[in-house]
Structure 1
């Protein structure tokens, strides 16, 4: 790589740095925190599911508001950097409060902490994601920056799996508790954010946007109704993520209670998955530019859910079989994270062509809205369904409980996601059509491509 290429790459790498910490957050929210409050704090699994559903729903409603405020922000730091700079300290505080509650808390603490955590999370992640949509606007450029950002996310997930395995045995005998894992990783999140956010704010460009009079939330949302590709993709993403939420909210229970593996084993499984994800990411990046991001998204998403069907053939205590399943799923994993935000960013350009505004944060907030609503509904439904079918995390596991976990974790997710993938397969904004949209926008603005 030449010095000129390195100079062009460095700002993108700097932008990607904070995603290392944010991906650790995502992993903890998906795989650990609901289980922690149910299994170790002692709040009933149905109550935990209901509270997380309510908190996620509240968070999803807040996202478009924050997105619109970020789009309306004007100043020498641009539209995104001020929100990140002022939001990160509050987010650090709530990360510790949410992941390390006092031992005797109840449902009130969980509800309040969850609501405040998700608000501070949204203040950071919505401007951060929309910032990436504005740094590069061409089709391949968006694929690149989303791939680099998610590569940072994969590195964060690998870090989140390695640290408990390498560090906790120095201080803890036997299988670590969820509280001990969360304490170590919450501290890691805070340290990584303290290092990477100042570098990103200083080194990464603000990005470009077309100036327009700031619109109120309802006026901006009204313009988005004309954007049919956006609406179609949001519905599809909701359905795919709903299937993912079913799987992710119960997979730790399935691995530990259904297969009889330890939490340390689960960390090694996650490590294998994301190491494979990091290896496969460049190949998916190239394939997306050849086949189209939407087609690659379908292939990766369905491959991910199909890979988990291998668990049906893994015997009790079968760590080797489990890690083989996770490696196969890991090959598909980057697609699910890289492609959707890049596709949503393309609909911003389509919206401007149809007379809308350059409101990247609102678009990405709507993406986050449907993603979080899917997670909220998925976690609530999955935990409630598993509980009603006979699984109790605070009681000895029974064959009925294992079958409940098998249905919720392995069978239902792929069936649900298939409906979303059918909507995505013939998505209208291809690479060729996006290039035409960019040319028309440049011509209308008096520029040239």
Structure 2
């Protein structure tokens, strides 16, 4: 590929697979526990199965990235995505329509099906991200590819939310199959990464896995990505508690969440323009600053203040566009500057996916114990407990965002990296 910017239609063909990959996450993480609980599986045993499979899901990503690099070619990559899509669709159906009964059989079924589903999801995600990174190009082109991938991912989240709650699991499964097939077909019609000799295939496995971490720019970007990601994941972990107990408007939850995601998707073109005008790094800093200003306002939200909280959702959705478009853009730039373009994108993508999953785990590990320590519990109406919820939901993310801004200035901006 040259440095000429790909047209939007070509970028959209690449990005379309992001829709079903985001679509599948909501049912797997939100609906699956309740589904098996309704089938009579004890929550404690189910929790152990979910913990084990999710830990496996996290650590497998770098290994899959190494495997992708060692065997990379566009036809092989497309074949891997097609096989992963088939396994993902089959695993999803098996999980929500188990063919067994009884606690032990259901637990074993869930563990096996969920492990296979997670592996298929991780493989498809790593190949898809590596494909986009291998396309490379200028900051404008990189941001356009990431924007289509992540923007269509938001559409997938919204679609899954509507179908899973309104149309039922059967319709949700059929739509997932159709969107996976369409995504694989579109990737086959997408721009093909340039052909480069994959030196990663000649490296020992341990060296290939560690290769990204040898670059200072990657280590700095990962530190920034993790801190910023925790700041974004804390509100995601606590949002329903805040809506139910602080705003006390549970019926408004679909409106609040819909406004956030719709605004996030709608803001992507704006952030693309800002990236083109001021560069991805500066655009990301603007997004972080907007998030801080927005979440300071959370501290003033009280019971029944639906209008005020809706404004917070809209403003934070606007800032979400920066987090969607910039980090992946900078990651591809790091790969290019390190001289690993066309060689080790899978390894980079694997570690990136691992960091994304760790962000959610770390956010829950920080926010939930802090809330309990401060005296809050679900359903609380005590003023001190609710104030603790506001501080955890609003102030704690601001602390991490400000830390991310400091890291951006110290580790990234002063080096003038894009």
Same fold (TM over 0.5): yes
Contact 1:51 1:111 in 2 (8 A): yes
Q: 1:416 aligns with which of 400, 406, 416?
A: 400
Q: Provide the secondary structure at the position in 2 that maps to 1:207.
A: coil
Contact 1:146 1:341 in 2 (8 A): yes
Q: Provide the secondary structure at the position in 1 that maps to 2:353.
A: helix
Counterpart residue number, 2:350: 365
1:429/1:26 Cα in 2 relative to 1: closer, same or farther (>3 Å)?
A: farther
Counterpart residue number, 1:189: 176
Give the superposed CA RMSD.
3.8
CA distance in 2, matches of 1:41, 1:406: 36
Counterpart residue number, 1:77: 75
CA deviations over 1:356-402 (Å, ceiling 9, x no partner):
97211111111112221122222234334444555555xx4342653
CA distance in 2, matches of 1:321, 1:113: 43
Q: 1:63 aligns with which of 57, 61, 79?
A: 61
CA distance in 2, matches of 1:151, 1:68: 27
Q: 2:318 aligns with which of 331, 339, 343?
A: 331
1:403/1:112 Cα in 2 relative to 1: closer, same or farther (>3 Å)?
A: farther
Counterpart residue number, 1:438: none
CA distance in 2, matches of 1:91, 1:367: 21
Describe how 1:34-433 pairs up with structure 2 within 5 A.
Answer: 36=34, 55-74=53-72, 77-78=75-76, 80-97=77-94, 115-163=115-163, 167=166, 185=172, 187-201=174-188, 203-213=189-199, 214=201, 215-262=203-250, 265-352=252-339, 358-387=343-372, 389-393=374-378, 396-399=379-382, 402-425=386-409, 428=412
Contact 1:49 1:381 in 2 (8 A): no
Q: Provide the secondary structure at the position in 1 that maps to 2:198.
A: coil
CA offset at residue 404 of structure 1?
A: 4.6
Contact 2:281 2:417 in 1 (8 A): no
CA deviations over 1:18-38 (Å, ceiling 9, x no partner):
2122223345567x3598589
Contact 1:96 1:186 in 2 (8 A): yes
Contact 2:62 2:347 in 1 (8 A): yes
Unaligned residue ranges in structure 1 (runs of 5+):
169-179, 435-449
1:39/1:255 Cα in 2 relative to 1: closer, same or farther (>3 Å)?
A: farther
1:27/1:149 Cα in 2 relative to 1: closer, same or farther (>3 Å)?
A: same
1:88/1:67 Cα in 2 relative to 1: closer, same or farther (>3 Å)?
A: same
CA distance in 2, matches of 1:204, 1:28: 28
1:35/1:255 Cα in 2 relative to 1: closer, same or farther (>3 Å)?
A: farther
CA distance in 1, matches of 2:65, 2:241: 35
CA distance in 2, matches of 1:367, 1:392: 33
Contact 2:295 2:397 in 1 (8 A): no
CA distance in 1, matches of 2:409, 2:240: 31
Unaligned residue ranges in structure 2 (runs of 5+):
none
CA distance in 1, matches of 2:117, 2:322: 27
CA distance in 1, matches of 2:40, 2:402: 35
Q: When the two structures are aligned, how many residues end up with a matched partner?
A: 409
